[in-house]
Structure 1
Amino acid sequence: MDFGWMFEFLKGMLKPVAALAVVAMAVALSYAQRLGLEWEMAYSISRAFLQLSVIGFVLQFIFSRENNVWIVLAYLFMVSVAGHTAGQRAKHVPRGKYVAGVSILAGTAITMFLLVILNVFPFTPRYIIPVAGMMVGNAMTVTGVTMKRLRDDIKVQINLVETALALGATPRQATLQQVKRALVIALSPVLDNAKTVGLISLPGAMTGLIMGGASPLEAIQLQIVVMNMLVGASTVSSIMSTYLSWPSFFTKAYQLETKVFAS
């Protein structure tokens, strides 16, 4: 049996292991400042090492097969994990994990479909899985913030919402300002990042290409596509999450579901 690939992998891990020096510095500073984060830092970086190593082998297996079925399976797995994580952030929203999962699925699937139809990316594991990962990660963050902020804003302004309902407003009309505020707050980091990309920092996709030997001009072309897809997927997912959250905030008689805002 040929174990050459294992030798190459272990050889390539020498630099990541050497980079642990900066983590050791962070641990030492945490200890000196009595932050109590030493074990959490060690656990986090150990988990990152393990997860990335495992996913590296998984992707190597998928890329070598060139089977589109693996794209769908990997994508659904990412969406499931992202929905669970975003749902935990918005834990007071009923069926939050389901709402987050469906919202992330809708936003990323629509965006990915357009990219493939427009021939921006070929529908192969090597392209689609990394692209889907970036979109799902951003959609997860935005969706979680949107759901949590919407529920919290309605709770803070519950008297205004109830007054609007009493005057004959529909749930959508009564919470329109809260929805707008939640969407603006959730999407602002994505838009701010798009405004400052290349001026303050070089994003990961662009940096990776440059370090891999691609020309800066090729790198910026890909990065522009990445920023476009992140804005599109995040916007669709966040808006979808507000529509799916609404039913759980109100009764069938168009009254606020008080138990949702009790805690």
Structure 2
Amino acid sequence: MAFDLDELLSSGTGSYDFEWLLTFLKGMIKPLAATTVVLMAVILSYMQKLGLGGEMVYSIARAFLQLSVIGFVLQFIFSQDHAVWIILAYIFMVSVAGYTAGQRAKHVPRGKLVAGASILAGTAVTMFLLVILNVFPFTPRYIIPVAGMMVGNAMTVTGVAMKRLRDDIKVQMNLVETALALGATPRQATLQQVKRSLVIALSPVLDNAKTVGLISLPGAMTGLIMGGASPLEAIQLQIVVMNMLIGASTVSSIMSTYLCWPAFFTKAYQLETKVFSTD
């Protein structure tokens, strides 16, 4: 079953003359008006002396700029409709996500490389299955938004899993060293730490799946409903989205533990103390 988002959204982006640019500029009036709530937040920050007013203004200005640029880039990519643009966009997203997740786990050796490889593996496998099962057609309009959602979630869980694994081993170094002294392999000695880091990293994703639709309506579902799709059609797509997020996040987080834990040990199966000497 392939979702026809063109019919659901009826966005009319098949026309690539300058009319779409004028429509875009007109459409920015409402987003600009919505910055009123940010102004309210800035005023409250100033009144409470939080010192966050400047950061709020910078954040929203950066969001405006980034989203506007991405909008033009996607407009161009969608008009090309070539697989090479899908691959380039996907590699860019994975690269940024790997760097960001690696920054979160900055004390993990080669953290950025490990995070990038893990995110690539998890999202690529999930995307391949979705395309093979004909859930989504392999076109920029479908694959790029879907890949973005998967990469974003995989980035979060991967960064948390790597950081938590390193921190747990550091806290429980005596237990790990005792297990190693008794003949356990590095993997066996850190099995509980690995499990704990994965549970903590994946819990928000699973909790979100348990409460989806009860506490809040997810972005994909909300976007479709506001775009004119029926709630039933939006629900069908959201179910697919939740499934793929769980799949990609699980594969990526597990892969990250397998790739990063060898860096915590020497070739003689001893803890690499220099990895745990910094905070």
| Matches of 2:20 and 2:155, distance apart in 1 | 34
Can you give the 5+ residue segments of structure 1 that lack an aligned partner in the other structure?
none
1:92 equivalent among 87, 107, 111: 107
Q: CA deviation at 1:9?
A: 1.5
Partner secondary structure for residue 169 of structure 2: helix
The code of the aligned residue for 1:80 comes to S
| Matches of 1:3 and 1:136, distance apart in 2 | 32
Partner secondary structure for residue 218 of structure 1: helix
2:251 equivalent among 227, 231, 236: 236
Does residue 195 in structure 1 map to residue 180 in structure 2? no
Q: CA deviation at 1:5?
A: 3.2
Corresponding position of 1:62: 77
Corresponding position of 1:152: 167
Structure 1 residues 37-48: aligned runs within 5 Å: 37-48=52-63
The code of the aligned residue for 2:63 comes to A
Q: CA deviation at 1:3?
A: 4.3
CA RMSD after TM alignment: 0.7
Does residue 109 in structure 1 map to residue 124 in structure 2? yes
Identity across matched positions, percent = 87
Corresponding position of 1:252: 267
1:36 equivalent among 47, 51, 56: 51
Render the CA deviation track for 1:128-148: whole Å, top value 9, x for unaligned.
Answer: 000000000000000000000
The code of the aligned residue for 1:36 comes to G
The code of the aligned residue for 2:262 comes to P
Partner secondary structure for residue 202 of structure 1: coil
| Matches of 1:5 and 1:186, distance apart in 2 | 41
Q: CA deviation at 1:8?
A: 1.7
1:223 equivalent among 238, 262, 266: 238
| Matches of 1:23 and 1:257, distance apart in 2 | 47
| Matches of 1:6 and 1:237, distance apart in 2 | 38
Partner secondary structure for residue 15 of structure 1: helix
The code of the aligned residue for 1:221 comes to Q
| Matches of 2:226 and 2:24, distance apart in 1 | 19
| Matches of 1:33 and 1:154, distance apart in 2 | 40
Render the CA deviation track for 1:76-109: whole Å, top value 9, x for unaligned.
Answer: 0000000000000000000000000000000000
Corresponding position of 1:171: 186
2:145 equivalent among 118, 123, 130: 130
| Matches of 1:30 and 1:200, distance apart in 2 | 27
| Matches of 1:20 and 1:199, distance apart in 2 | 28
Partner secondary structure for residue 240 of structure 2: helix
| Matches of 2:193 and 2:25, distance apart in 1 | 52
Structure 1 length as normaliser, TM-score?
0.99
Corresponding position of 2:20: 5
Can you give the 5+ residue segments of structure 2 that lack an aligned partner in the other structure?
1-16
Structure 1 residues 205-216: aligned runs within 5 Å: 205-216=220-231
Corresponding position of 1:79: 94
| Matches of 2:24 and 2:126, distance apart in 1 | 34
Query: How many correspondences in the alignment?
Result: 262
